Structure 1
Amino acid sequence: MRVRHVLGGAAAASAAAVAWGALIEVRAFTLREFAVPVLAPGSRPVRILHLSDAHMLPSQGRKQAWLRALADLEPDLVVNTGDNLSHVDALPAVLDAYGPLLDVPGVFVFGSNDYFSPRPKNPVRYLLGGTGVASGGAWQRVPDLPFEQMREAFTGRGWVDLTNRHDALTVGGQRLAFVGVDDPHLEYDVLDDAPADPGADLAIGVAHAPYLRVLDRWNTLGYRLILAGHTHGGQLCLPYVGALATNCDLDTARAKGLHTHRVPGHEPSWMHVSAGLGTSPYAPIRFACRPEATLLTLTG
C-alpha cells in the first residue's frame, strides 16, 4: 500500500509538471537583461535586442503580440540568430510580429527551421546528445520553408544578411564589425581565417548553433562578442541542475545566458546563448526554462 501511494504521488507530480510546462511555462515569455563590458572606457552604451528560435506557427497570436511589444524597448540593434519558422505559412506572422523592429538596424543568420519544416524526433536521442544531423553532412532534404522570401523581406527593410559573410554597421556611434555563418547544426557553416577588423570598435560573431569549432575560431580571430541560439536553453531543465542537453557540443552549463569562451593563449570572448522563444510543434513544452528574448547593454 505504501509503495502504491509513493508511485501514485510520483505520477501525479509528473503529470502536474507536464501540464505546467505545456500549458503555462511555454507561453511565459520573459525579457532577460545583461550588461556586457566590451566597449572602450567612456563609450555610450549600445543596446542589442537578441532574438532567436521563434519557431513561429500562424496560430501563435500571444507570441506575436509579445514580440511586437519589444519595439517599445527602442534597441539600437537587433540580432536574429535564426529558426524563425515552424510552418510553411508562418512567414506573414513572423514579419507582423517583428513589425517595427525591422526598421531598427539589424543583422541575421538562419537556422535549420528556416529551411526545413520540423519533424518528430526521438526525445531519448536528444537527451543523450544526438544532433539530428545526417551522417556525412547536411540533411539530405529539399528546403520546404520560404527562407528566400524571408531573406528578401529582412534585407528589404534594412537588416544585414550574415550568412557566411562579413559586414559592418555603425550603431550608436560605434563601428561594429560582424562575421556570420550559416547553420553549423546543418554543417552549412563556412569558416575563414580573416581576423577581426582592427579598426572596429567591436567585432561580433553571429551563428545559429554554438558549436565549439565556431566559437574557437572566432575567439582566436579576435571577436569579443559572440551571439547564438539553437539550444532552447535545454528546454527541459531541472531546478538547481539546469539543462540536460544542448543539441550541440556546447557544455550544458552554458546552454543559455551570458558566459565567456576562451581558447588557451587568447583573450576571452563574451558569449550570449539565447534560450529562444519557441519550441518544435512536436515538443510544445518547456520546464524550468522560460521562452525569452534578451536585451544586451554593451558598456565600457
Structure 2
Amino acid sequence: MGERAPSIRSIGMGAAGVAAIGAAGLAYAGLVERNWFRLRHYEVPLLPPRSPRLRILHLADAHLTPGRRRMIDWIRGLDDYEPDLVVNTGDSLASADAVEPFLDALGPLLRRPGVFVFGSNDLYGPQWKNPARYLWRSSHKDYEVRRVPDLPWEHLSAAMTSAGWLDLNNRKGDVKAGTLDVAVAGIHDSHIKRDRYDLIAGPADPGADLRLGVMHSPEPANLDRFTADGYQLLLAGHTHGGQICLPGYGTLVTNCGIDRHRARGLSRNGDSYLHVSAGLGTSPTAPVRFFCRPEAALLDIVAR
C-alpha cells in the first residue's frame, strides 16, 4: 500500500513553520545580535624585552546613524580600559548627520593618542539596494558611478586631527603612546581605489618600539607590502567578519580579496600579525548580524 500524499493542510502548516523560524531569525539578527556589542581581547608579543605593555583599542565600521544611542554610549565606555593608542580603521559614518554623534561616541577617547584612516562609507552615503546582494557582488561596484563624495568626511577629519589624532590616509608618521615610540603608516580605502601605497613605501623605522600598518580593507597585495616594509602589526576592518555567518562554517564572504578564515580576529600575514575587526555596525540597508556580533578589540602589545 503506497504512502499517503501530504494534505494541503499539512503543507500549509509546514510552510508556516518555516516562515515563523525565518521571521524569528530575522528578528534576532536585526534587533538582538546587531546591538549585542562585545570587546575582544588579545595579547601580542612584539615589543623589545622588558618593555611596558602597550594597549591599543581598535575601532572599525561603526556605520553610525544619529539614533544609535546604545552604540554611542558603549563606545564612550571603552575609555575605562585606558588604551594607550586608539586606531580607527574607517567606515565611521552612515549619514550626513552622523559626524557629531560619532565624535560624541569617541568622547574621552579623543584625549588619548589616536590614528585613523577612512573607508568608502566615510565619503559616500548608503544607497538602498538588496541587502543580501553583497553575497554575490562586491560592493566596490556601487562606487564606480559615484565620483563625488556626499558625506562630510572633511569635518570628521578636521575634528579628529584637531584633537591630536594622526591622519594616515596614504601617510606615515610617528606617535608617542605611553612611553613607547610607534612608527605608523596607513593607506586610504583600496575598495574604492584610493590607496596609494607608493606614497608610504619603504622600510619602517627600525628604531621604533612598534611598527604599525593601518588600512580599511585588508587586500592581500597591500598586506604583503606592509609586511615586506617591516610593519609588525597590521590593523584593518571592512569585512564586518562576514556579517552573516553560519554555525560550524563561519564567514560566507569577505567583500574583498582576503580569505574568509582571516576575515575577523588575529592571524598572521607572513612575519606580521594581522587583526581584522568584525566592526561595530552595519549599513542601514542591511541592518542585521547573524553569528557575527559587533565588536571592538583591545590588543595588549607585550614584550617578546
> TM (normalized to structure 1)?
0.93
Which residue of the partner structure matches residue 282 of structure 2?
Answer: 279
1:17-76 deviation line (CA, Å, top 9, x unaligned): 111000110000111111111112221110000001111101111111111111111110
Query: Where does structure 2 lack aligned partners over 5 or more consecutive residues?
Result: 1-5
1:121: how far off?
Answer: 3.6
2-side partners of 1:121 and 1:250: how far apart? 24
1:242: how far off?
Answer: 0.7
Count of residues in correspondence between the two structures? 293
1:260: how far off?
Answer: 0.6
**Does structure 1 residue 169 correspond to structure 2 residue 172?**
no
2-side partners of 1:101 and 1:36: how far apart? 22
Provide the aligned C-alpha RMSD in A.
1.6
Which residue of the partner structure matches residue 110 of structure 1?
Answer: 118
2-side partners of 1:73 and 1:139: how far apart? 42
Which residue of the partner structure matches residue 194 of structure 2?
Answer: 188
Which residue of the partner structure matches residue 140 of structure 2?
Answer: 133
Which residue of the partner structure matches residue 296 of structure 2?
Answer: 293
**Does structure 1 residue 44 correspond to structure 2 residue 52?**
yes
Q: Percent identity?
A: 52
Q: Quick check: which has more Rg, 1 or 2?
A: 2
**Does structure 1 residue 224 correspond to structure 2 residue 214?**
no
**Does structure 1 residue 234 correspond to structure 2 residue 255?**
no
Whether contact under 8 Å (1:133, 1:139) holds in the other structure is no
1-side partners of 2:145 and 2:214: how far apart? 22
1-side partners of 2:245 and 2:54: how far apart? 32
Whether contact under 8 Å (2:125, 2:150) holds in the other structure is yes
Once the two structures are superposed, the pairs formed by residues 45-60 of structure 1 within 5 Å of their partners are 45-60=53-68
**Does structure 1 residue 215 correspond to structure 2 residue 218?**
no
The one-letter amino acid of 2:196's match is: V
Identify which of 33, 38, 51 aligns with 1:30.
38
1:4: how far off?
Answer: 5.1
Which residue of the partner structure matches residue 265 of structure 1?
Answer: none
Whether contact under 8 Å (2:131, 2:285) holds in the other structure is no
Whether contact under 8 Å (2:113, 2:176) holds in the other structure is no
- SS of corresponding position for 1:195: coil
1:271: how far off?
Answer: 0.4
- SS of corresponding position for 2:248: coil
Whether contact under 8 Å (2:132, 2:286) holds in the other structure is no
Whether contact under 8 Å (1:87, 1:117) holds in the other structure is yes
The one-letter amino acid of 2:23's match is: A
Which residue of the partner structure matches residue 270 of structure 1?
Answer: 273
The one-letter amino acid of 1:184's match is: S
- SS of corresponding position for 2:283: coil
1:196: how far off?
Answer: 1.2
2-side partners of 1:41 and 1:6: how far apart? 63
1-side partners of 2:233 and 2:40: how far apart? 17
